Structure 1
Amino acid sequence: MVKQWYWYDWLMFIIRLICSISLVFTTIELQEYFTLPIVVLVLWQLIAFSVPWLCLHLDYKYYLLTEIVISGGLCLYLASFFPQAYFSFLLYAFLIAAHSAKRAYLWSGPVSILLLPAIIKLFTEQSEYWVMAVHIGMAYVFGFSFHLLALNHRQGEIIREQNAVLEQYLSQIERITLAEERNRLSKELHDTVGNGYTSLIMGLETLRPELSTETRTERLDSLLNLARQNMEEVRGYVHQIESPREALPLLQSLRKLAEEFQEHAKVTVRFQAYGEEYPVTKQAKTALYRCLQESLTNAVRHGHSTEIKVSVQFEPQQTRLEIQDNGRGMEHGREGFGLSAMKERAMNLQGHIAIYTEPGEGTLVTCTLPRQTELKDEAIRLLVVDDQPYIRESLRTLLEEQQDLQVVGTAEDGEQAIELCRQFQPQLVLMDLEMPNVDGISASRTIKETWPHIRILILTTFEDTRQALEAMRSGADGYLLKSMQPLELAETIRTVYRGGTLIDQGISHKLFAQLEADNSGDDPSSIKASSTNELTPRELEILQFMSKGLRYKSIASKLYLSEGTVRNYASSAYVKLGVRNREEAVQKAREAGLLE
C-alpha cells in the first residue's frame, strides 16, 4: 500500500498526523474543562485518526462518512466548550475536499461548509455562523484545489506510463516486423533465385549428351561452375540476412523481452522456466515471442497490472507459455486485433491460445504449441520413386536444398522401391502412381505391410479419385499433386513425417463425392472392402472424441491442434473407412472394435 503512494499522499497523511497530535496534547492540557474522561477523549481522537484513514483505502465514500461523523463530531464536542475549537475542523475540511470525487462534492461540501457550522452555532451562541462558514469554506476550496493538483499529477503519471509501454510496444513491433520481413525476403530469395539457379543447372546438364566437341563441353562446364558459384552466393546472402537477436535461444529471447518491458513499463515481471529447453522452429519462436509481448502490453494498458508472472514450460510433446497478471481483468467477449493475431499465429502452428479472465481477478493467457523442432543433426531420410529420371533428379535437388531433408535413394518403379526400402530403411517415401513393373499402389501396400513405420506420400500428376481412394486404402499417409510449390512440398513432408495425414483439397472434395455415389449405387463392395487397420493413432484418437459427440472445434482445443488439421485427419479417416460422415465413421469403427 505504501509503495504506491505519491508525494501528495504523504503530505495529506502528515497533515492528518500533525492535526491529531496537536489535538491530543491540547485535550490533555485542558482536560479539567471537559465532562468526558481524558481516556475516552484520547481514544476518540485515535479513532478519528485511524478509522477514516483506513476507510479511505476501501472506498472514498466510506471515508467521507466516517470523517464527517467521527472527526466532525469530535470538533463539535470540543467547540461546545471552546467556541474557537472549530478551527480544528479546517484541516479535516481540507482533507474531505481533497478526497472527494465525482458527485460526492454535492453533499460533502454543504455538510462541511453549511451544516456543521450551523450545529456548532446551535451549541455555542458566541460563535459567528458566517465567519465559521467562510473559514471552513476556504479550507474546503484549498482542499478541492489540492485535489485537482493531485489528479493532474496522477493523470500525468498514467500518461507517462502508457507512453513508456507504447514506446516499448512499438519498438518490439518494429523488431518483429523487420524479422518477419527478413524471413520473407530470405524465403523469396530461396524459392525464386535459388530454385531458378537449380533449374538452370539441371537444364544445362541435360544438354551435355548433345555436345559433340570438347570445346563446347568445356564451355558448358564453365557455365555450370559459374551458376553453382552464384547459387552459393545467394545462399550466403540468405543466411546473412538473419538478425543476431533471431539467433538467440527461445528462453533467452523471452527473458530479455520480459526484462526490457519491466524496465520501461515500471511493473514487476517475474520470469520462470520449467523443463529442459530444446530448440523450436522460427515460426514457433516468433509466435511465443509475439504472444508474450501482446499479453504484457494488454496487462498494463487495459488491466492496469502492477505484477505479471511469466512461465515457460518445455514439455515432451508441447511448449507452453503462461502470462498471469494481477490486473482488473477483461470483459468477456472483448477481443482486439492483437489477441486475434496471437490466436491466428498459434493455429497456423497447430497450437492453441486460451484466455481466462474475470473482472477484478486479473487475466491468464496460455499459449500452447506442439513440439516441432528443426531437425539439424537428424535429417528426414527420403526415398524418391518415379519412372521419369528428370523428375527424380529434380526432386532430389530441390529437397536437398532443405537442411532437414536427405534423399537416401531414388527408384524408377515400385519393385525397386521395395528393395531400396529394405536396403536403406527410409523414414518417408515419395511415391508416384503410374510406373512399370509394380505400380505405386501395390508398392505402397507391400511397404506398409513389411515396414509399417515408413510414411508414404503419394506425389502424382493424376487427379483420379479412384486411384486416390485406393492409394489411401493401401496405407498412404498423404496424396498430393506434383504441381504444388517446392516449399509447400517440404512443409508437407515434415507434417506427414510427424504423423499428419494430408490430402490435396481438390482431391478430397472429389473423394467424398465419389464415396457418396458409391454408397448410393447398387454395388457397395468397394466401400465395404476397406480395412480399418490402416487408421493412424491420431485418426483413431479423433474418432474416439467424435464418438463422444465432440465437434471439430472442441477436439482441436483438447488436442492443441487447429480446427483445419482435425478436419484433415477426419477426412482421411472417412476415406480409409469408406464412409461419408461422422456418424457412419463412428458406427463402422465401433463394429470393428476400434472404439471403447
Structure 2
Amino acid sequence: MLDIVKQWAWYDWVMLFIRLISCFSITATTIQMEDYLTLPLWVVVFWEIIVFSVPWICLMLSYRYYLIAEMLLFGGLSLYLTSMFPEAYLTLLTPAFLIAANSAEKSYRWSAPITIVFLPLLIVLFSREIDVFEIFPQIGLAYVLGFAFHLLIVNHRQNEIIRKQNSVLEQYLTQIERVTLLEERDRLSKDLHDTMGHSYVSIIMGLETLRPDVASQEGTEKLDSLLQLARKGMKEVRGYLHQMGSPQDTLPLVHSLRQLGEEFQTHAKVNVRFRAIGEEYPVGKQVKMTLFRCLQESLTNAVRHGQATDIVVSLYFEPQQTRLEVQDNGHGMENWKDGFGITTMKERAAHLQGRVSVYSERGEGTIITCFVPRLVESADEIIRLFIVDDHSFIRESLRTILEGQRDLRVVGMAEDGAQAVELCEELEPDLVLMDLEMPNMDGIAATKRIKEKWPGIRVLVLSTFQDTEKAKEIMRSGADGYLLKSIESRELAETIRLVHRGGTMIAQDLLHKMLDAQSANEQEELLDAPNISEKDENSYGLTKREREILQMLSQGMRYKTIASKLYLSDGTVRNYASALYDKLGVRNRDEALQKGKKEGLL
C-alpha cells in the first residue's frame, strides 16, 4: 500500500483531499444533529469512517471493487441521512464526482445510470420533500465534472507515458550513436592497421634483407637512416591507432556497465541499482560488447514494454562464466515472444558460446540473464598450434605473440596450403591458424583437405580483408572461425581457446555483413517454400537451418554427424540446436522431437 501511495500523482491527492473534506463535514454535521438520529451516534460515525476508508482501500486494488463499494456505502449513507434531513441529498454530489473520476473502460455503461438515475430515484422515494427536477441536474452536473476530471487525468497520464518513452528513446539513440561511433572508429583503426601497418612492416623487413648487399659505410648509414624513418612512421601509426581506439575498451567491465546504468537512470527517470558479485577478472572486447548491448537492450525493454520503475542489474564473476542478470518490476508477459532486440542478444551470446534466457510472468516482472563462458588458460592443457601464412614475418610475429601464453605452443609453420597439408600428418596439431590468400594452394582448398583427412583438427582463418563471399566459402569448407589479422593478441588467444573447445568465432563486422545477406536469402527461400506451414513460421520462428537440423535429429543423427553433412563445426550445430530448443520451449533433443511431431514440424 505504501509503495502505491509513493507513486501517486497530484490528481490522486486531489481526490483524497475531496474525500477527506466531505467525510469530515458530514461527520461534524452528524454530531451536531445527534438528537434527530434514529441510530446511536457511534454507529453512524463508525459507518461514516467505513464510507471514507473502505472505498479508498478498494481503489488501491481495483477500480471495479471501488465503484461497487462507493455506491453501496456512500449511497446507503446518503439515503439514510436524506430520510431524516431532505437537504442531505447533497452528500451524493461527492460520490457522483468520485465515481465518474475513477470509472474506466466499459464501467461507464453501468456506473453512470446507477449514479445519475437509480440513486437519485431512491432518494426521492425515501424523501417526498425533494424535487425531482432539482436533484437530477445537480447529481448529473457532479458526474459530468467528475468525468471531465477523469479526462484530465487520462491526458496527464498519456503525456507522462509519452514523455517517459521519449526519454527512453533519446537515451537509447544516444547509446546506439555512441556504440556505432566506437565501432566505426574501431573499424577505421583496423583498416589503418591492415594497410599502413602492413606496409610499414613490409618496408622494414625488406630493408633489413638488403643489409648484406650494402657493403659501403655510406650505404649502411643510408639504410640505417631509412630504417629509422620507417620505424618512426610505424610508431606514429601506432600512436594514431591508440588514439582512435575505443575509450570503452580501456574501461573495466564493471565500470562500463555501471556507467550505462547511471546514464539510463538519469534519462529514463527510473531507479537502476547495479551490483557486481565476485572478484572481477578481465574479459575480451567481444564479451564486453555483448554484455554491454545485452544490458542496454534489457533496460530499454523494461521501461518501454514493461513500464518498470525499479531495475536491479547484477553482474556475477563466476569461475566458469560471466553472468549478467537484469530484473525489473514491470508488468511482465504471460506468453513471451522474442523481439528483434532479444534475438540479436541471443545471436551475440551464441557467437561466444553463451546464451540468453528470459523469464517473464504477468504481474511478476521480467528477468533477462546473459551467460558468457569464461575462457582461461588451463595449467593441464597445452593447445598445439600450426601457423600457415606466406609472409615469414607474420608467421614469426604470430609465433612470438602466441608462445607468450602458457597454454599455447606453436609446433610448426608453413608458407602455403600444400605444405600445411603435408605437415599436418606429421605434427598432429590441435588447431591450424590459416591464411586465406597463398600461392600453390590457398586457405580454402587447404582447409577442405585438412578437414577431410583429419576432422578433429580445428581450423581458424586469419585474413586481412572482410570478404563475405570467401568467408562463407571457407566456413562451408569446414573452417571453425574467421578473424581479421588486426585482432588484439589477447582476443586472439581467447578465440583460439574457444575454437579449440568446440566453439565457432567470426569477426563481428564480418558476421553482421553475413547475417544481413543471410536474412535476405532466407526471406527469398521462405517465399519459394509453400510447404512450410504458417504455424511453423509465425509461432516458433524457426529458420531454414533450424528446421533442417530438427529433421536430422529426428533421424537419430548426432551433432558431429550433422556437422559433417552440413559442412559446419560441431559447436555451430550445437548453437543452432540450442536456439531451436529455446524457440520450441523445450530442454533437450527428446522433448524437441516430441513437440516437433505434435506441432507438425517434422
TM > 0.5: yes
Question: For residues 381 and 240 of structure 1, do their structure 2 counterparts lie closer, same or farther at Cα, with a shift above 3 Å needed?
Answer: farther
Shift of 1:282: 1.6
CA distance in 2, matches of 1:569, 1:75: 71
Q: Give the conservation status (yes or no) of the 8 Å contact 2:375–2:497.
A: no
Question: For residues 399 and 488 of structure 1, do their structure 2 counterparts lie closer, same or farther at Cα, with a shift above 3 Å needed?
Answer: farther
Q: Give the conservation status (yes or no) of the 8 Å contact 1:330–1:358.
A: yes
Q: Give the conservation status (yes or no) of the 8 Å contact 2:92–2:139.
A: yes
Shift of 1:501: 5.6
Shift of 1:482: 8.8
Matched length: 490
CA distance in 2, matches of 1:425, 1:315: 21
Shift of 1:464: 6.2
Q: Give the conservation status (yes or no) of the 8 Å contact 1:31–1:38.
A: yes
- Bigger CA radius of gyration: 1
SS in 2 for 1:427: strand
1:532 corresponds in structure 2 to none
- Paired letter, 1:440: L
Pairwise mapping of residues 229-244 of structure 1 onto structure 2 (< 5 A)? 229-244=232-247
CA distance in 2, matches of 1:152, 1:336: 29
Deviation larger for 457-466 or 261-270? 457-466
1:323 corresponds in structure 2 to 326
Shift of 1:441: 3.9
- Paired letter, 1:429: V
**Which deviations, in whole Å up to 9, do the C-alpha atoms of 1:208-245 show, x marking residues without a partner?**
55556655554444333322221111111101113444
CA distance in 2, matches of 1:273, 1:385: 39
SS in 1 for 2:39: coil
CA distance in 2, matches of 1:268, 1:224: 58
**Which deviations, in whole Å up to 9, do the C-alpha atoms of 1:388-436 show, x marking residues without a partner?**
9x74334214665xxx53589xxxxxxxxxxxxxxx9962334438669
Deviation larger for 330-339 or 286-295? 330-339
Shift of 1:132: 0.3
Question: For residues 186 and 107 of structure 1, do their structure 2 counterparts lie closer, same or farther at Cα, with a shift above 3 Å needed?
Answer: same
Query: Where do 5+ consecutive residues of structure 2 fail to align?
Result: 436-440, 465-481, 507-552, 576-588, 590-602
SS in 2 for 1:319: strand
- Paired letter, 2:410: L
Do residues 457 (structure 1) and 458 (structure 2) align?
Answer: no
Question: For residues 464 and 266 of structure 1, do their structure 2 counterparts lie closer, same or farther at Cα, with a shift above 3 Å needed?
Answer: closer
Q: Give the conservation status (yes or no) of the 8 Å contact 2:197–2:237.
A: yes
SS in 2 for 1:316: coil
**Which deviations, in whole Å up to 9, do the C-alpha atoms of 1:33-59 show, x marking residues without a partner?**
232232322222222112211111222
2:596 corresponds in structure 1 to none
Q: Give the conservation status (yes or no) of the 8 Å contact 2:377–2:407.
A: no
Shift of 1:201: 2.6
Shift of 1:341: 2.5
CA distance in 2, matches of 1:4, 1:550: 57
Question: For residues 318 and 152 of structure 1, do their structure 2 counterparts lie closer, same or farther at Cα, with a shift above 3 Å needed?
Answer: same
- Paired letter, 1:25: A
CA distance in 2, matches of 1:550, 1:89: 76
Do residues 486 (structure 1) and 485 (structure 2) align?
Answer: yes
SS in 1 for 2:368: strand
Shift of 1:153: 1.9
Query: Where do 5+ consecutive residues of structure 1 fail to align?
Result: 409-423, 449-454, 506-545, 557-562, 571-582, 584-596
**Which deviations, in whole Å up to 9, do the C-alpha atoms of 1:554-586 show, x marking residues without a partner?**
x99xxxxxx96614799xxxxxxxxxxxx9xxx
SS in 2 for 1:57: helix
Q: Give the conservation status (yes or no) of the 8 Å contact 2:307–2:330.
A: yes
Do residues 53 (structure 1) and 56 (structure 2) align?
Answer: yes
CA distance in 2, matches of 1:466, 1:110: 81
Question: For residues 464 and 238 of structure 1, do their structure 2 counterparts lie closer, same or farther at Cα, with a shift above 3 Å needed?
Answer: closer
Do residues 405 (structure 1) and 388 (structure 2) align?
Answer: no
Do residues 168 (structure 1) and 171 (structure 2) align?
Answer: yes
2:82 corresponds in structure 1 to 79
User: Please, which of 112, 117, 125 is the counterpart of residue 115 of structure 2?
Assistant: 112
- Paired letter, 1:230: G
User: Please, which of 248, 262, 265 is the counterpart of residue 262 of structure 1?
Assistant: 265
1:495 corresponds in structure 2 to 495
Q: Give the conservation status (yes or no) of the 8 Å contact 2:293–2:345.
A: yes
SS in 1 for 2:370: strand
Provide the identity percentage. Answer: 51
SS in 2 for 1:226: helix
Shift of 1:194: 0.9
Shift of 1:150: 1.9
Shift of 1:279: 1.0
Pairwise mapping of residues 511-526 of structure 1 onto structure 2 (< 5 A)? none
Shift of 1:106: 2.5
User: Please, which of 411, 416, 421 is the counterpart of residue 429 of structure 1?
Assistant: 411
Q: Give the conservation status (yes or no) of the 8 Å contact 1:480–1:503.
A: no
Q: Give the conservation status (yes or no) of the 8 Å contact 1:384–1:407.
A: no
- Paired letter, 1:500: R
Do residues 181 (structure 1) and 184 (structure 2) align?
Answer: yes
TM-score by length of 1: 0.72
Question: For residues 457 and 492 of structure 1, do their structure 2 counterparts lie closer, same or farther at Cα, with a shift above 3 Å needed?
Answer: farther
Q: Give the conservation status (yes or no) of the 8 Å contact 1:472–1:478.
A: no
Pairwise mapping of residues 228-377 of structure 1 onto structure 2 (< 5 A)? 228-330=231-333, 332=335, 334-372=337-375
TM-score by length of 2: 0.72
Do residues 440 (structure 1) and 414 (structure 2) align?
Answer: no
Shift of 1:12: 0.8
Shift of 1:330: 3.6
**Which deviations, in whole Å up to 9, do the C-alpha atoms of 1:499-534 show, x marking residues without a partner?**
3368999xxxxxxxxxxxxxxxxxxxxxxxxxxxxx
SS in 2 for 1:309: strand
- Paired letter, 2:501: G
Deviation larger for 205-214 or 266-275? 205-214
Q: Give the conservation status (yes or no) of the 8 Å contact 1:481–1:504.
A: no
SS in 1 for 2:61: coil
Deviation larger for 96-105 or 197-206? 197-206
